Amino acid sequence: TRPGALEPSVSRPGPAAADLRERLAATAESFIGVDYAWGGTTTRSGFDCSGLVLAVYRLNGLAMPRSVRDQYRAGTAVAGDRLSKGDLVFFNSSPGGELSHVGIYIGNGTFIHAPGSGKNVRRESLASGYFKSRFSGARAYL
């Protein structure tokens, strides 16, 4: 092509959902090591599982309900084998029990969550026996 000629346009998704998904995962990763605190929604106070989700989404300009149950209801179902970065993964306290926990999927079968009292925000595998047996579904918000 000659200098100054227009290049053919390429169609790309709007403010790139893929970029937003990467930012959600990176924000969640930035909180690894922060203490767990029941009811917590900040790095200063610590995070509980749904508080971590709330903070990560808010920091990326997205509104999210506060509780695990409401976060689950707000999303669109995603099959476990179709997860994308930034989707939320939900668990129950015992196989077949009520929803009790949420994490943020970051790719490669892993998620980040605030696991519980005395622990800190960490990365886990969806394939680990504990989480595999308690997986209750996943939701997308983008």
Catalytic residue among 101, 121, 138, 141: 101
For residue 113, indicate whether it is catalytic: yes
For residue 137, indicate whether it is catalytic: no
Catalytic residue among 24, 25, 34, 49: 49
Q: How far is CA 28 from the centre of its chain?
A: 7
Q: How far is CA 18 from CA 21, 22, 46, 61, 106, in A?
A: 5, 6, 28, 15, 12
Q: Which residues contact 58 (CB under 8 A, 6 or more apart)?
A: 64
For residue 49, indicate whether it is catalytic: yes
Of the candidates 48, 97, 95, the one whose C-alpha atom is nearest the C-alpha of residue 68 is: 48
- Annotated catalytic sites, by residue? 49, 101, 113
